[in-house]
Amino acid sequence: MKRKHRRLAILTACAVGVGSAAALAFSALSSDMVYYLSPSQIAAKHPSVRRTFRLGGLVEAGSLKHETVNGQPVAVFKVTDLKGDVTVTYKGILPDLFREGQGVVTMGHMRPNGTFLATEVLAKHDANYMPKDVEQALIASGKWHPSEGAPPPAATWDMLNPRSLAKPKPVGT
Amino acid sequence: MDSAQPILGAARGKRWNWHKLANPGQFLRVSARFLLPLSIAGVLITAVGLVWGLWFSPADWQQGQTVRIMYIHVPSAWLAMSGYAGLAVCSVISLVWRHPLADIAAAEISPVGASFTALCLASGSLWGRPTWGTWWVWDARLTSVLVLFFLYLGHIALINAFDDRERGARAGAILALVGVINLPIIKFSVTWWNTLHQPASISLFSAPKMYVGMLAPLFVSALGYTLLFAAIVVSRTRSGIMERRVRGLLQARAERAA
């Protein structure tokens, strides 16, 4: 066995060792590496009122209400993962991307009444990128509305002419 | 000491093979021919991609003009990761075959990779503020890219921490190879864990989740960044080889004089 072959063998053995050690460590850690909990995880885990954690999910369509408490604006909305939902109360400025149907990550704690009091609301961006005229065309044609959540896959509208898309489909086709 | 010496008696095989390029002298000759075209292509294609992306591509329906940061952020992220993969390949060659050129190239890749990672982190932070509402979060994607940045910095520091350059190169190569585990973590962080950062819009096995009019300038920018990265690394490697030669000559002269 040449020396360089021995070095290659040692290196391969080290790679297999370090790789499997890391894989084991991460599979053990994976449940603790979660950045936020979803509403159904909260329903299963019942986090304590004193524990501060992040709650993530979609802002449920039609659930956003702006209220005034002691003269201060308060946003109340439901965060859903389509399996469960949690009502969130937040006092402060919402990010630009915040809207119904949008993914959000909020930090705060549960209140005894089962609602979530948020101290921070961050908007999540999905993986979709779409020009404004396509959005307008999709809304005008009734194919999709922002409150429904993420836009339809790009492949379905990528090559369409926005003007032809905007025309409502004749009934019955 | 001077490992760049075997240059002179370069083997002149009839068949072209990659081992010839691993010879520093041969590398100097070959790279002299393609460095200028490579640099010009890199600058031009990057310029076309960025001008197209920053001025002539459509704004996003949701983010508006902010989406244009993508044309700077995404290619720098890709290059930060593929630069590290290049560093790892050099490290394997350096540890197993002991090619001096691999040591020089590894030493020259890491500052460039660190710069692209810094650009990725900075542009991402500027993008996160208006879209997410925060400059920084400790989610798996952002944290693992920060670790990549520290790995590059650690590699730079480690190879310069030894009086014996060869030992420094070997220690740096080991660090670089241990750090390879971070590459899949960065790539899959957004699928394995709940992160604030969104999953990939472009993947090998599914249709892109992006308008073609945005995808095209992004790919042009990425191609330009790649050529630019390669040009910078080749040019730095050339000067690294020449530096070693000069050092070797000066040392020989000092030894003769002594």
From B219's Cα to the closest Cα of chain A, the distance in A is: 15
Contact B209 A129 (CB under 8 A): yes
Residue of A nearest to B207 (CA): A155
How much helix, strand and coil, in percent to the nearest 5, is found in chain A? 30, 25, 40
Q: Measure CA of the first residue to CA of the last residue in chain A; give whole Å.
A: 73
- For an interface test with A, the pick among B74, B90, B96, B178 (most A C-beta atoms closer than 10 Å) comes out as B96
Residue of A nearest to B139 (CA): A35
ipTM over 0.90: no
The per-residue pLDDT for A163 is: 54
Q: CB of B192 within 8 A of CB of B154?
A: no
DSSP A86: E
Q: Using DSSP bridges, classify how beta strands A85-90 and A116-123 pair: parallel, antiparallel or unpaired.
A: parallel
Q: Which of B61, B139, B140 sits opposite A132 (nearest CB)?
A: B61
What is the enclosing helix (H) or strand (E) of B119?
Answer: helix B100-131
Q: Determine the Cα angle at B149 with ends B148 and B154, to 5°.
A: 95
The per-residue pLDDT for B116 is: 97
Per-residue pLDDT of chain B (258 residues; tens, 9 = 90+): 444 444 444 444 455 566 666 788 888 999 999 999 999 999 999 999 999 999 999 998 888 899 999 999 999 999 999 999 999 999 999 999 888 899 999 999 999 999 999 999 999 999 998 889 899 998 889 999 999 999 999 999 999 998 888 899 999 999 999 999 999 999 998 888 878 898 888 888 788 888 888 999 999 999 999 999 999 999 999 999 999 999 999 999 999 988
| A169 Rama sector, left if φ>0, alpha if ψ -120 to 50, beta otherwise | beta
- From residue A133, alpha-carbon distances to B16, B19, B245 in Å are 54, 54, 60
Distance between CA atoms of residues A128 and B219, nearest Å: 16
Write down the residue that tokens 């005034």 correspond to.
Answer: A68
- From residue B254, alpha-carbon distances to A136, B164, B249 in Å are 76, 18, 9
Q: Which of A130, A146, A153 sits opposite B207 (nearest CB)?
A: A153
**Residue B194 with chain A: CB contacts under 8 Å:** 34-36, 38, 56
Query: At A129, phi and psi to the nearest 5?
Result: -125, 125
Structure tokens at B44: 């031009």
DSSP B60: B
From B216's Cα to the closest Cα of chain A, the distance in A is: 12
DSSP A38: -
What is the enclosing helix (H) or strand (E) of B113?
Answer: helix B100-131
From B39's Cα to the closest Cα of chain A, the distance in A is: 31
Distance between CA atoms of residues B118 and B80, nearest Å: 9
- For an interface test with A, the pick among B19, B56, B62 (most A C-beta atoms closer than 10 Å) comes out as B62
Contact A30 B139 (CB under 8 A): no
For chain B, give every domain's residue range: 38-257
Q: Which fold has domain B38-257?
A: Four Helix Bundle (Hemerythrin (Met), subunit A) (1.20.120)
Question: Residues near B185 by Cβ (< 8 Å), separated by ≥ 6?
Answer: A26, B140, B144
Distance between CA atoms of residues A17 and A23, nearest Å: 10
